[in-house]
Structure 1
Amino acid sequence: MSLSAVHGTLSSLKSCQVDIGTGMDIVTDVAMDLAEAQDNNINPGIKEMEAMILECAKLDREINYFVDVVQQVTSEVNSQQLEAMFSLSAKVKEQFTERIARLSDAELQNHQKVVAFKESIKNSLSQANQEPAENMEELDEDIAVTQSQVNFTCPLTQVAMVNPVKNKKCNHNYDEGAILNLIKTKHSQKKKCRCPVVGCGNTDVKEADLILDQVLRRKIQSQKRQGNRT
């Protein structure tokens, strides 16, 4: 197999990661629906979905490890060193096995989408377990006002967010792609990334501080569906 074919395979694996991420989002949405249903029989279902999320996180990490190892090993040779190509498979297998052996449960628990799953379920259960208000019409009006006040616009792109993330430090939301690009740009300039929300005192936004905001994503999708119907 040529190095170009290897790189093509790695690109396919990275595409698979996108599909895995989409699947994890779908599982989280279904789990949130169960949590919001206030059904006493939902806990086993949510536990099963959490197990699915963890399995997906493990697969995602394994793909990351495999891609990293292959890139590292192939960077040591070039297409002219044909004799070295025969030993690549063994090197990749050995290093990949070592990396997988070090994969811990704690690392899986810290996977961004696993954290987002747990946060989303926690919020959904908290809302579902609240005591019903005596005046439901007044409650509905309050909810409608609150939802109308939610800002779905990314402070960076000035358009509706697609994949909103929340900053754990300042609780501000941004579109994932936009804030990650800003962080990368600032770091390349040897600068810290300031929160783009006007008036925010957070002067050092880090990727580790960002978690996917599945609740907000659902609200954005719901608003979009309502807009399409009207």
Structure 2
Amino acid sequence: MPKITQLDRHYIGFLHKQDDEMNPGIKEMEAMILECAKLDREINYFVDVVQQVTAEVATQQPEAMFSLSAKVKEQFTERIAQLSDADLHTHQKVMAFKESVKNSFKQANQESAESMEELDEDIAVTQSQVNFTCPLTQVEMVNPVKNKKCNHHYDEAAIINLIKTKQSQKKKCRCPVVGCGNADVKDSDLIPDQMLRRRIQSYKRQNNRT
């Protein structure tokens, strides 16, 4: 049995919620498609009945042709009376319409999700702008690295240069972030932060657009 997803549940409610005033056009179109399916079904049954009765009359006396119309009407009425409108929902035209609506609904939700993702990214970028500045150079970092001991970020070139300078002076390199207690920053403590780098690049592109 196929798994019913949350999106499918939304779709079912989207089509069948009677009090949903947000989609009157969809419900009106569905009613029209159901009516077309009903007419299509009746036409097919009528053709079948005509062919069946004609074949029966052809084997009888010529006088039987005079009752052909009445027999067709009688059998057609009987067959139509046995049908259920609920079966129309499995009609090819109705199924195709529902599939089209479902695909459109999925696409709309996907586009909405992508828009929300972009919005979240923009918000994250905006909230993190303050962290884009290197505490050493006081300019926006190009190749940010993260100190795995204290979790502070620096521009790679700037912190490496500071470490080498301190080593040449036989001193330990303190973390340049004010108030940080990390008094011994080493090359091995630094790891490239590719995520932060992408956020910085995204922030730059956002500024260029504006």
- TM-score normalised per structure 1: 0.39
Instruction: Give the structure with higher Rg (CA).
Output: 2
Bigger relative contact order, structure 1 or 2 (CA pairs below 8 A, ≥6 apart) = 1
